[in-house]
Structure 1
Amino acid sequence: MRCHQNHYSRTRFLSIFITVLSVNLAAVFSLDTVNQVREHGYPLKTYKFWTPDKYLLGLERIPYSKDGNGTIGRPVLLLHGLFLSSVIFTLNSSSLSFVLSDAGFDVWLFNARGLGLSRALNIYARDEAPPRMNKISWDFSWHEMGVLDMTTAIDFVLNETGYSKIDILGYSLGTTMALAGLSNRPKYNDKINKLVLMAPTSRLKELGMPLSMVRRYARLITVFLNRVNFLRFSKDPDTKYRMISNICSVKYVFEICKWFIDLAQGVSTPLSNDSVVSILSVFPQPVSSRTLKHYIQLMISRRFCHYDFGPAANMRLYGTVKPPDYNLFKVTAPTYVIHSKDDTIASPMDVKWLVNNLPNVKYVYYIDNVLFGHLSFSLSPDMKELVNLPTAHFLLDDTHENSVRKRKVSS
Structure 2
Amino acid sequence: MIFKFLLRSIIFLSISKQSIGRRNPLGNNACNNFEDYFKASISPNCFYNPDMFLETPDLIKKYAGEFETYKFTTEDNYILTMFRIPRKNPKGTILLQHPLSVNSRIYVSRRNESLAFKLWRAGYDIWLNNNRGTLFSEQHVNKTISSLEYWNFSFHEMGLFDIPRQIDLIKKKTKDSQIIYVGHSMGSTSGLIYASLKSQQVKTSIKAFIFMAMPCYFEYSTSLVAQLAHLKGFPSSLQKFVDELKLGAVIPLLPVIVNISRILFRTFPILLLIVNFILLLGAGWTPEEVEPALMNFDFAINIKNFSWKILLHYLQLMKSGSRFQMFDYGKTNNLKIYRSEEPPAYPIENISSVPVYLISSVNDSLTTSKDADLLFERLPESTRIYGKLTVTGLNHNDYFIGKHAPIIYEKLLHFISKILP
Corresponding position: 1:389 with 2:410: yes
Contact 1:176 1:200 in 2 (8 A): yes
Counting only pairs closer than 5 Å after superposition, residues 12-411 of structure 1 correspond to structure 2 as 19-20=13-14, 29-64=52-87, 70-92=88-110, 93-119=112-138, 121=139, 133-134=146-147, 137-190=150-203, 191-215=205-229, 216=231, 217-227=234-244, 228-235=246-253, 237-250=254-267, 251-269=269-287, 270-302=289-321, 303-332=323-352, 333-359=354-380, 360-361=383-384, 362-368=386-392, 371-385=393-407, 387-398=408-419
1:175 CA drift (Å): 0.7
CA change 1:162–1:319 in 2 (3 A) is same
- Describe the superposition over 1:161-216 as per-residue Cα deviations: whole angstroms up to 9, x where unpaired: 11122110010001110111111111132111011000011022222122233212
- Letter of the 1:341 partner, please give it: V
- Structure 2: which 5+ runs fail to align? 1-7, 20-24, 30-51
- Letter of the 2:109 partner, please give it: L
1:281 CA drift (Å): 2.9
Q: Between 342-351 and 279-288, report the one with greater CA deviation.
A: 279-288
> Secondary structure of the equivalent of 1:117?
coil
User: What is the distance in 2 between the residues matched to 1:345 and 1:319?
Assistant: 32
1:30 CA drift (Å): 4.3
1:219 CA drift (Å): 3.0
1:268 CA drift (Å): 3.5
User: What is the distance in 2 between the residues matched to 1:311 and 1:49?
Assistant: 35
Contact 1:179 1:328 in 2 (8 A): yes
- Describe the superposition over 1:49-81 as per-residue Cα deviations: whole angstroms up to 9, x where unpaired: 0001110000011113xxxxx544421111111
User: What is the distance in 2 between the residues matched to 1:207 and 1:225?
Assistant: 25
- Letter of the 1:304 partner, please give it: F
Contact 1:88 1:378 in 2 (8 A): yes
- Letter of the 1:365 partner, please give it: L
1:264 CA drift (Å): 4.1
1:276 CA drift (Å): 1.4
1:137 CA drift (Å): 1.0
User: What is the distance in 1 between the residues matched to 2:273 and 2:71?
Assistant: 39
1:136 CA drift (Å): 6.5
Contact 1:79 1:174 in 2 (8 A): yes
- Describe the superposition over 1:82-121 as per-residue Cα deviations: whole angstroms up to 9, x where unpaired: 11111111111212111111111111001111113212x5
> Secondary structure of the equivalent of 2:387?
strand
User: What is the distance in 1 between the residues matched to 2:180 and 2:420?
Assistant: 16
Contact 2:156 2:326 in 1 (8 A): yes
- Letter of the 2:277 partner, please give it: W
1:260 CA drift (Å): 4.0
User: What is the distance in 1 between the residues matched to 2:177 and 2:264?
Assistant: 47
- Letter of the 2:369 partner, please give it: P
CA change 1:271–1:220 in 2 (3 A) is same
Pairs aligned (count): 371
CA change 1:357–1:107 in 2 (3 A) is same
User: What is the distance in 1 between the residues matched to 2:86 and 2:171?
Assistant: 13
- Percent identity of paired positions between Structure 1 and Structure 2: 24
- Describe the superposition over 1:224-276 as per-residue Cα deviations: whole angstroms up to 9, x where unpaired: 232334234241x2343233234334545432343343244242432222321
Q: Between 389-398 and 24-33, report the one with greater CA deviation.
A: 24-33
Contact 1:308 1:314 in 2 (8 A): yes
User: What is the distance in 2 between the residues matched to 1:168 and 1:100?
Assistant: 13
User: What is the distance in 1 between the residues matched to 2:356 and 2:331?
Assistant: 34
1:355 CA drift (Å): 0.5
Contact 1:90 1:96 in 2 (8 A): yes
Q: TM-score, normalised by structure 1?
A: 0.82
